[in-house]
Amino acid sequence: MFQIRSLGSCRFDSPLKKSLGAKGHKFIGFVTDDDRILYNPRLDAFRTAITHGMEDPISIELAGPREKIFFDSSKTKAAIVTCGGLCPGINNVIRALTLELYYRYGVEEILGIRYGYSGFTQKNFEPVKLNPKVVEDIHMIAGTILGSSRGSNETKEIVDYIENNKINMLFCIGGDGTLRGARDIALFTMLKGYPLAVVGLPKTIDNDISYISRSFGFGSAVQEAMSSIKSAHTEAKGYYNGIGLVKLMGRYSGFIASETALAVNDANFVLIPEVDFDLDGKNGFLTHLFRRLESRHHAVIIVAEGTGQNFFDKDKIGYDASGNKELGDIGKLLKNEILNYGKTNKIQVQVKYIDPSYMIRSTVANSDDAIYCIQLAQNAVHAAMAGKTNLLIGHLHENFTNLPIDTAVSKRKNIDPTSPLWMNVLEATGQPVRMKNS
């Protein structure tokens, strides 16, 4: 389940042997495929294994440079593609991939595919040639210099393009849908016997990829999201019974909503997809909200965009180009419900609704993410040069890992309502543990 696919045996010496060893000193930073870390580092799991003579527990391959590599650098051609919504750090990844390929491995042909997977299939989207000069300062720029798009594309067409252009390795920067696309490309080329290394770099601002401690851009997003909460707080306090309502990202998980609530500490309610609640009724959200207004006369609410989808008519929900379910707009629904409740109960309220999504997505990576992106990218290049494919680069227990795409996309990471994180949120907000009537 956690085994990485390989294109074949590694015949070439890694150029790192020379470049990073000091004169007369051997480079000793290489990693082997036997270097793995336990998924579960708990002592009791270890003891159980000892006692029961168990086989190997679940472990994950360490990422890192290999002493022998599969591709001959001078004949290698790489491609980079960025898909889905914007996220802080994409350009940092593009830059670090390019620098690593070029300077450390000597790969000089690097194509930047335009506008996501559609760049493989739409004739007028000419790829960009990437090199150290082109990418020099792009880490200072938000967004993606390559452009992005949502939506799936014919795997066959993409593979045709790859073959026609003699591309040997493909770096896919994207989330769930992108990674499934990457897997299909990897499988398709493996079936055809075309040696293509496909390596994913997990870009999900929602931080919901399993087996990975955090996805790049998430920390920067939380930091940027803080100012929207501060604004909501200021607006809420500025008026009698003022309510600041902020919708943050999080289709299936409340990580951004929860961590932002902790970081800024001005929210009174955090509503996330993992925790159901009732709107009405004596233990419902509205009752609790207006109880707070009665005593403090202002309130701040954070809601993750995927929250409360049960309040919407399921028959009316569509799908976007990437096959993601279109979400009902919980922000507007809450705003209306609050205004109606106020009107019905003759309580004057002012709702200030803030949707900062694009302003968060389009921020530059902060220092942590900037460093993290470099490291993810370097490990992606190490994996590709070693002929590994159908994997993505992860991070666990302070180590970078090679993770099979299938494993990563098999389930989503989300917030356990009994976890310390959610306990922290409950405490920071003071909101009830349950807001349901039964």
Q: Which of residues 363-382 bind a copy of itself (CB under 8 A)?
A: 363, 366-368, 370-371, 374-375, 378
Q: 3-state class of 438 per DSSP? A: coil
Cβ atoms of residues 85 and 362 within 8 Å: no
Question: In degrees rounded to 5, what are phi and psi of residue 268?
Answer: -105, -20
Return the number of the residue (195 or 432) whose C-beta is nearest a copy of itself: 432
Choices 69-77, 312-320, 362-370, 405-413; region in contact with a copy of itself by CB under 8 A: 362-370
Which tokens sit at 126? Answer: 């000419």
Structure tokens given for 110: 């690097």
> How many C-beta neighbours within 10 Å does residue 120 have?
26
Taking the complex as a whole, the smallest distance from the CB of residue 307 to a copy of itself amounts, in Å, to 18
CB of 196 to a copy of itself, least distance (A): 25
Among 12, 17, 57, 210, binds a copy of itself (CB under 8 A): 57
Question: According to CB under 8 A, which residues from 94 to 133 bind a copy of itself?
Answer: 99-100, 103-104, 114-115, 118, 125
Find the binder of a copy of itself among 1, 9, 43, 346 (CB under 8 A): 43
Q: Does 312 bind a copy of itself (CB under 8 A)?
A: no
Task: State the DSSP H helix or E strand holding residue 209, giving kind and residue range, or none if neither.
Answer: none
Residues that bind a copy of itself (rule: CB under 8 A) add up to a total of 102
Helix (H/G/I), strand (E/B), else coil: 29? coil
The verdict on 257 binding a copy of itself (CB under 8 A) reads: no
Span from 67-75, 167-175, 185-193, 354-362 in contact with a copy of itself (CB under 8 A): 354-362
CA–CA separation, 418 vs 438, rounded Å? Answer: 19
| CA 323/CA 335 separation, integer angstroms | 28
As measured in angstroms, the least distance from the Cβ of 187 to a copy of itself is: 27
Which residues are CB-neighbours of 45 under 8 A, at least 6 positions away?
Answer: 38, 57
Q: Given the rule CB under 8 A, which of 155-163, 187-195, 239-247, 305-313 is the region that contacts a copy of itself?
A: 239-247
Counting contacts by CB under 8 A, is residue 347 touching a copy of itself? no
String marking each residue 408-427 x if it binds a copy of itself according to CB under 8 A:
----------xxx--xx-xx
Q: Given the complex with a copy of itself, which of 392 and 435 has the nearer CB atom?
A: 435
Rounded Cα–Cα distance for residues 169 and 82 (Å): 14
To the query of whether residue 206 is one of the catalytic residues in this protein, the response is yes
CA dist 435 and 28 (Å) reads 56
Task: Among 1, 8, 9, 44, indicate the residue that binds a copy of itself (CB under 8 A).
Answer: 44
Single out the residue of 237, 302, 312 nearest to residue 264, CA to CA: 302
Are 193 and 376 contacting, i.e. CB atoms less than 8 angstroms apart?
A: no
**CB neighbours of residue 209 within 10 Å:** 24
Q: In the complex with a copy of itself, which residue's Cβ is closer, 189 or 258?
A: 258
What residue type is assigned to position 372 of the chain?
Y
Rounded to a whole number of angstroms, the minimum distance from the CB of residue 294 to a copy of itself is 12
165 three-state secondary structure: coil
Contact set for a copy of itself, span 72-91 (CB under 8 A): 86
Query: Please, what is the Cα angle at 361 between 235 and 183, to 5 degrees?
Result: 145
Of 184, 206, 208, 369, which is the active-site residue?
Answer: 206
Residues 149-208 that bind a copy of itself (CB under 8 A): 149
Catalytically active residues are 206
